[in-house]
A and B are shown apart, each in its own frame.
Chain A
Amino acid sequence: MKTMNWFLAGACTFLLFTACSNPPPAETDPAPKAKKTAIRVENTSKEDSLAAAERARLEAERLAAEKLEADRARLEEMINQLMSDDVYFEFDRFELTEKARELLAQVGDMLKAEERFIVTVEGHTDARGTEDYNMTLGGKRAMKVKEFLVAYGISSDRMETVSYGKEKPKVEGASEDAYSQNRRANFRVKIK
Chain B
Amino acid sequence: MRKVFFSFILFFCIYSPLWAAIDTIAVDVGISVFKTMPLGVVPFEEKNGPIAWGEMPPHKILESDANLSGRFEVIASQKFDLVAFSRARAKFYVTGMVESLEDGMLKLSCYLYASQTKRLVFGESYKVAVQNVREAMHLFFDQVVFELWGERGVASTKLAWVRKIDGVKQVIYADYDGYRRRQATNDSAISMMPVWALGNRKLIFVSFRNEKPQLHVKDLDTKRVRRIYTNHKQSFSPAVNPITGEILFSVIRDGKTDLYLGDAEGKNSRRLSYLKSSQTSPAWSPRATEILFTSDRGGGPQIYVMGKDGSDVRRITFMGRYNEKAAWSPTGDRIAYTSMDNGKMNIYTCAFDGSDIVQLTSNAGNNEHPTWSPDGNLIAFASDRNGSYQIYIMRRDGSNVTQITKQGENTSPTWSWYDSPPPTSKKEGKK
A129 to B290 CA separation, bound complex (whole angstroms) = 25
- What residues on B are CB-neighbors of A188 within 8 Å? 211
Kindly state whether residue B6 has any CB partner on chain A within 8 Å: no
- What residues on B are CB-neighbors of A3 within 8 Å? 211
Q: Mark B338-349, 1 if CB is under 8 A from A, else 0.
A: 101001010000
- What residues on B are CB-neighbors of A163 within 8 Å? 213, 234, 252
A77 to B278 CA separation, bound complex (whole angstroms) = 38
A94 to chain B: closest residue by CB: B255
The majority secondary structure among interface residues of chain B is strand
Which of A43-51, A54-62, A65-73, A139-147 lies at the interface? Answer: A139-147
A143 and B255: CB pair below 8 A?
Answer: yes
Kindly state whether residue B236 has any CB partner on chain A within 8 Å: yes
A136 and B169: CB pair below 8 A?
Answer: no
Name B residues whose Cβ lies closer than 8 Å to a Cβ of A.
169, 190, 192-193, 208, 211-213, 234, 236-237, 250, 252, 254-257, 278, 280-281, 294, 296, 300-301, 322, 324-325, 338, 340, 343, 345, 368-369, 411-412
Contact of B252 among A130, A136, A167, A168 (CB under 8 A): A136
Name A residues whose Cβ lies closer than 8 Å to a Cβ of B.
3, 92, 120, 128-133, 135-136, 139-140, 142-144, 146-147, 161-165, 167-168, 188
Further contacts, 17 of them, CB under 8 A, given A129-B322, A135-B237, A136-B252: A120-B211, A130-B281, A131-B411, A132-B237, A135-B252, A135-B257, A136-B257, A140-B256, A142-B255, A143-B254, A144-B255, A162-B211, A162-B212, A162-B213, A163-B213, A163-B234, A168-B190
Selected A-B contacts with CB under 8 Å, 15 pairs: A128-B345, A129-B322, A132-B193, A132-B294, A132-B325, A133-B281, A133-B294, A135-B213, A136-B252, A136-B257, A139-B255, A140-B255, A162-B212, A163-B252, A167-B169
Question: Which of B294, B296, B301, B340 has the most C-beta atoms of chain A within 10 angstroms of its own C-beta?
Answer: B301
A162 and B281: CB pair below 8 A?
Answer: no
B252 and A139: CB pair below 8 A?
Answer: yes
Output the least CB separation between A55 and chain B (Å): 48
Q: Which 9 A-B pairs have the closest CB atoms?
A: A143-B255, A139-B252, A136-B257, A132-B281, A136-B278, A130-B324, A132-B280, A132-B237, A130-B325
A135 to B190 CA separation, bound complex (whole angstroms) = 14
Output the least CB separation between A82 and chain B (Å): 17
A162 and B255: CB pair below 8 A?
Answer: no
A140 to chain B: closest residue by CB: B255
- What residues on B are CB-neighbors of A161 within 8 Å? 255
B324 and A129: CB pair below 8 A?
Answer: yes
Given contacts A132-B280, A132-B294, A139-B234, contact A146 B255 (CB under 8 A): yes
